[in-house]
Amino acid sequence: MAIGIGTVTGKGQVQVPKEIREAMGIATGDKLVFEVTGQGRITVTVRKRRPLSSLAGALAEAGFWSTCWPEGRAGLITAATAGVFPRY
| pLDDT tens for each residue of 2-24 | 889 999 999 999 999 999 999 99
Q: Reply yes or no on whether the pLDDT at 33 is more than 90.
A: yes
Q: Which domain holds residue 77?
A: 53-82
Q: 58 by DSSP, 3-state: which? A: helix
> Does 38 lie in the same domain as 22?
yes
Give the tens place of pLDDT for each residue, 67-83.
555 666 677 777 777 77
Q: Which amino acid is at 43?
A: T
Residue 88 located in a structural domain: no
d(CA 42, CA 30): 18
Indicate the DSSP class of residue 12: S
Give the tens place of pLDDT for each residue, 36-60.
998 889 999 999 887 666 666 666 6
Q: 48 by DSSP, 3-state: which? A: coil
Indicate the DSSP class of residue 47: E
Residue 76 φ then ψ, to 5°: -65, -45
pTM for this entry: 0.53
> Does 36 lie in the same domain as 58?
no
Query: What pLDDT, on the 0 to 100 scale, is given for residue 59?
Result: 60
Contacts of residue 65, defined as CB under 8 A and 6 or more positions apart, other chains included, come to 59, 72, 73
